[in-house]
Amino acid sequence: MDGLDTQVLDAARRWAAEGRRFALVTVARTWGSAPRPPGAWMAVRDDGRVIGSVSGGCIEDDLIRRVLAGEFAGDSAPRIVRYGVTADEAHRFGLPCGGTLELVLEPAPDAALLADLGERLAGGQLALRRVSLTSGRVAIEPGSAGDSLQWDGETLVTLHGPAWRLLIIGAGQISHYLATMAQALGYRVFVCDPRSEYGDGWQVPGTTWVAGMPDDAVTELALDPRSAVVALTHDPKLDDLALLEALKSPAFYVGALGSHANNAKRRARLLEYFDLSQAEVDRLHGPVGLPIGSRTPPEIAVSILAEMTAVKNGTHARATTPVADPYACRVA
């Protein structure tokens, strides 16, 4: 569940507690090019207020118009709403390349079930939300890491889980930008740096400080396939042990700052001195980040998050162009 969808759930629960009527809209299926993926959420309140997104804006505008007109007010049963079925409609709603969206709209979501889902997520659980258009029944069930969105035209099952997690090793300047940007992308950010000269100055709201050594932090967090680790200290005594534990974990992304030369030395150390296989070492993204010519700390943070996003979405190809390392001169 990404950050925007978490905001939708929070707003829906708040509106329900206030007694406001609203519709919950979920992207069930897409054809062609679509701005938002299946599972994306949007909530539209009875006064037209919106949180979340299912497209680039035009479909939201039409749904707002229909809600304000009271089109869905007389019914509580979930229904299918389609956009872009014809080329003319796709053009009218701004769907690129003839894209088509199939949405499941719930005119009156159950407040107790929304609260149940929120409580499960707050407790760190994965949950499935099952919406049956045939019976109108909605259920919340335990989920697992192997579950995924399912839609057969009658029943929509969406997977909701704890926020994606990012552990940053090192509390330097790049880390400040990386932590701030990662939170905007829906990551729960943890930071570990045993060096007091860095830790004492850490002031990024919303992040969680993990005391102790980085390798202990990796173990303590019990990394899963929704976790990422980025080592930014440029100190092998801190980075290498953390990377050792992270590369053995199911984390979807493990990266380390450094030049090509320094990362080659790091890989050699990990193979020679630690109990890691070649396949495990090959999982390391180093130099970390996509090669976008980044040189400043915020640019490097952007490149790291871009690569993490590509890996998470299954579209990443290893880069061959060197990524600038402004700190390479500091490492022997």
Q: Which amino acid is at 318?
A: R
pLDDT at 326 > cutoff 80: no
Q: How far apart are CA 1 and CA 57, in angstroms?
A: 21
The DSSP bridge pattern shows strands 22-31 and 41-45 to be antiparallel
With 50 as the cut, is the pLDDT of residue 271 above it? yes
* From-to residues of CATH 3.40.50.720 in the chain: 164-330
Cα end-to-end distance, the chain, whole Å: 42
- CATH 3.40.50.2300 assigned to 164-330: no
Q: Examine the pLDDT at 262 and tell me if it is beyond 60.
A: yes
pLDDT of residue 3: 65
Task: Assess whether pLDDT exceeds 80 at residue 330.
Answer: no
Mean pLDDT estimate for the chain: 87
The mean pLDDT of 88-103, rounded to a whole number, is 66
CA 86, 89, 91 angle in degrees (round to 5)? 110
Output the pLDDT for position 41: 92
Q: What gap in Å lies between CA 285 and CA 287, rounded to an integer?
A: 6
Virtual CA dihedral for 268, 273, 278, 279, nearest 10 degrees?
A: -120
Residues 287, 304 contacting (CB under 8 angstroms): no
Could you tell me the pTM of the whole model? 0.69
Q: What is the mean pLDDT of residues 267-295?
A: 92
How many beta carbons lie within 10 A of that of residue 212, not counting itself?
11
Name the band, by pLDDT with cuts 50, 70 and 90, for residue 318.
low
Confidence of residue 314 (pLDDT cuts 50, 70, 90): confident
Average pLDDT over residues 142-151: 86
From 159-168, 174-183, 258-267, the region with the lowest mean pLDDT: 159-168
Cα 36–chain centre separation: 13
Higher pLDDT, 198 or 93: 198
The answer, yes or no, to whether residue 13 has pLDDT greater than 90, is: yes
**What confidence score (pLDDT) does residue 261 get?**
92
